[in-house]
Amino acid sequence: MDENKSDQPSGKHPSPYIRLKKFHFIMLVFFLVFATAAITTLALAFGGEKAAEVGMKPRGEFEKLYEAYDKLEKNYYQDINEEKLINGAINGMLDSLDDPYSDYMDKKEASQFHESVSSSFEGIGAEIQEEKGMIKIVSPIKGSPAEKAGLRPNDRIMAVDGKSLEGMSSSEAVLLIRGEKGTKVKLKVQRAGTKEPMEITIVRDEIPIETVYAEMNNDKVAHIQITSFSEHTAAELKKAIEEMEKKGMKSMVLDVRQNPGGLLDQAVEMTDMFVPEGKVLFQVEDNQGRREKMVSDSKKKVTVPVVVLVDSGSASASEIFAAAMKESAGVTLIGEKTFGKGTVQTAEDFKDGSNMKFTTAKWLTPNGNWIHKKGIKPDIEVKLPDYANLPYLNPDSELKLDSLSEEVKNGEKMLEALGYHPGKVDGFFDKATEEAVKEFQKKSGIEQTGVLSGDTTVQLMTDLREKIQENDTQKEKAIEILKEKQSSSAS
C-alpha cells in the first residue's frame, strides 16, 4: 500500500491489496457475507439491548469479551472512550491473525484507502505494508517523490519525523507519511546490506493515479509500463495498445516491475486480452480447500509477440498477471523473482465509515501453484547493474575532505558509475574524491566547492537515475528476444 495501502500486494495492498468483485466467485460471496454478518454481530454486541433489538441470539464465545468490556466500563479509574475500545477490540482480532494483509481502518484511514485506487492523493507515493511489526516499502510509484528519493522495495521505514513506526499497522503509518503537497517528511530508513539507517527528507507532492505509460522504439517494439492495477488501468492499457498499433507496433514489452498490485478485476480484464479463450487465468481456493477457476473469454486478443518484465517489486495482482501470461499464454518472463503474495483480500465497510480489510482466500497460478512467500521465477533471469541498487544520499549531509562514512563510499560508487574518478572506493573522502566532485559540479553548472551536499547530491542522484534508465539491461534483453521473434516470423 502506498502510503496508500493497498493490496496494492499493487500492487502495495497497506500492504498489497486485491479487491475481489463479488460476482466473479459466488462461493466467495457466501463466505464474505458470512464474515460480514459476524462482524456486524460483534459491532452490535457491546450492550445486550442492541442485540435484542435486531433479534440476534446471544453467542457464548463472546461472553468473555462482554465481561471484559463491562469490567472496564464499571471499574476503570478514568472515563473510557466506548468507540475507541470497540475499535481496539476489532483491531486486536485482526492483529491476532498475524496476517500483514488483514487490517482495521478508522474513518480517516478508510477514506484514504478508497481514495488510493480511484483518484490522486497527496503524499510521497510509495506502497507500504506491515510485516512482523515493521513497515516496509513494497514499491515506489513511478515518477513519485519516493522514487526520486531512491526508496526501493524492502526498505524498512523505522520512523517518520522522529516517531517510531515499530508495532504500527500500515494504516497508522500512512497517516504519518501522507500530508499536503509541498510539505516535508523525514523518514528513517534501513536498507538491507547497510550498517546504519538513512535519514531521508522527502517533499510531498500530488500523486496522480496514472498507471500506464507507453513508448515505441525504432524497431517498432512497444514498451508499455503498468505501475499499478487501479480503477481505470485496463482501459488505459487498451488505449495504449491502440495507440501503439497505429504507430505500427510489431511486438510488445509489458513491464510490471515495481508494480505492487491493486484491483483484481483490473488484472483479470487485462490478462484476458492476451490469454487464449478457455485457458485458465488463475484459481481461487477458499478456507475449505475448494477451488474455483477463472478462465479467459472470447474477446479479441492481442496477437503480436509479447514478453513481460518482472522484479522483486512485482506483487499480488502483478503476479496473477505474470503467472497467467507465463503458464496460459506461453509468454516469456524476464527479470528477477517476484515479491510472493498469494492471498486475496476483501474490504468491508462498517456503517460508521470505518473499514476492515481481511484475507478471504488463496489465489493459485493456472497450473495450481501457490507462490505465497516464494514468488515467481522469470524464464530468463537478468539483473540490473550494481549501481541501480545504490542507496539514497541525504542532500542535508555534508560530505567533504577527510570525511569517512558509508555515505561517502556510496557517493564514490555513484561518481564512478557516472564516469568520474574518485580514487579508491573505500568510504574515505580524499583529494581524488574532492577533484571528482569538482569535475562533476563543473559539468553540471554547480559552484565547484568539492563538497558533496545539497544541489550537488540531488543532481548526482538524478544523473544516476537517468543512467539506470538508459542502461536497462532487463528491457534490453526483452527487446533482443522480441527482435529475434520478429526476424524469425518474417523469414
Q: At what angle do helices 82-96 and 63-75 cross, to 10 degrees?
A: 140
Tell me how far apart the alpha carbons of residues 30 and 273 are, in angstroms, rounded to a whole number. 29
Residue type, 482: L
Tell me how far apart the alpha carbons of residues 158 and 198 are, in angstroms, rounded to a whole number. 10
Alpha-carbon distances of 150 from 387, 415, 477, rounded to whole Å: 12, 16, 24
Q: Are 378 and 333 in contact (CB under 8 A)?
A: yes
Q: Which of 130, 327, 336, 434 is catalytic?
A: 327
H-run or E-run covering 69: helix 63-75
Nearest to 187 by CA among 105, 266, 126: 126
Query: 3-state SS string over 261-329?
Result: CECHHHHHHHHCCCCCCCCEEEEEECCCCCEEEEECCCCCCCCCCEEEEECCCCCCHHHHHHHHHHHCC
Nearest to 258 by CA among 326, 316, 299: 316
**Phi and psi angles of residue 486, each rounded to the nearest 5 degrees, phi first:** -60, -40
Q: Are 437 and 423 in contact (CB under 8 A)?
A: no
Tell me how far apart the alpha carbons of residues 68 and 71 are, in angstroms, rounded to a whole number. 5
Q: Which of 5, 148, 326, 341 is catalytic?
A: 341
CB within 8 Å of 419: residues ≥ 6 apart: none
DSSP-derived letter for residue 122 is: E
Nearest to 161 by CA among 147, 149, 176: 176
Q: Which of 230, 296, 316, 397 is catalytic?
A: 316
Q: Is 327 an active-site residue?
A: yes
Q: Which three cell numbers stand for residue 149?
A: 528519493
Catalytic site positions: 316, 327, 341
